[in-house]
């Protein structure tokens, strides 16, 4: 399979079952942000003490969500869906990791160990992906709310995992001091 097709040279790109759309379409903003988030997580996986299987699971779920976003047409031949229990799994992992962390009483600055800093960056990209999905859902009501919920929870997961990574590395969270 060739990596290039030349079909996008006119400023359009194809979706699963929806034909071609302009590359500035909201669906491609959402897909691009999900792809960037997945790449950030790939980088995180190279820097973390957090089990890599958790990162790989999230990366696979993001690919599933991307396939869902690219296939939200009514044609069932092209329909992909993120697993319905993915958000609940994130919540369980958040609760488990958070139980071993000190309670936050102030805002913290992104950073700390290299792994935690990369997770904080991924969290910021995740928030952008969430905004893109919300915009797409408003324009295309057939886009399921489940994906928005998942990405919203994923940003919480990334925040907690960054704090967990700092703790595992013996690095304290940096509390924001108002200037």
Q: How far is CA 121 from CA 36, 43, 96, 112, in A?
A: 11, 10, 22, 12
Query: What are the pLDDT tens digits along the chain (179 aa)?
Result: 788 888 778 788 877 767 777 678 899 999 999 999 999 999 999 998 656 679 999 999 999 999 889 887 656 655 677 888 999 999 999 999 999 999 999 999 999 999 999 999 999 999 999 999 999 999 988 888 999 999 999 999 999 999 999 999 999 998 999 88
Q: Is 0.85 topped by the overall pTM?
A: yes
Domain residue spans of the chain? 22-76+84-175
State whether residue 53 is helix, strand or coil. Answer: helix
Which CATH architecture is the domain 22-76+84-175 placed in? Up-down Bundle (1.20)
């Amino acid at each position: 399979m060739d990596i290039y097709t030349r079909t996008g040279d006119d400023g359009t790109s194809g979706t699963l079952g929806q034909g071609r759309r302009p590359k500035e379409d909201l669906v491609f903003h959402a897909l691009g942000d999900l792809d960037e988030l997945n790449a950030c997580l790939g980088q995180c996986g190279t820097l973390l003490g957090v089990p890599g299987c958790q990162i790989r699971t999230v990366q696979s779920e993001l690919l599933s969500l991307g396939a869902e976003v690219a296939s939200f047409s009514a044609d069932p031949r092209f329909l992909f869906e993120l697993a319905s229990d993915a958000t609940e799994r994130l919540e369980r992992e958040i609760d488990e990791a958070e139980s071993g962390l000190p309670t936050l009483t102030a805002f913290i600055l992104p950073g700390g160990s290299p792994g935690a800093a990369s997770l904080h960056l991924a969290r910021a990209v995740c928030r952008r992906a969430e905004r893109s999905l919300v915009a797409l859902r408003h324009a295309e009501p057939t886009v399921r709310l489940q994906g928005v919920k998942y990405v919203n929870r994923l940003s919480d997961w990334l925040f907690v995992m960054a704090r967990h990574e700092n703790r595992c590395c013996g690095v304290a969270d940096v509390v924001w001091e108002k200037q």
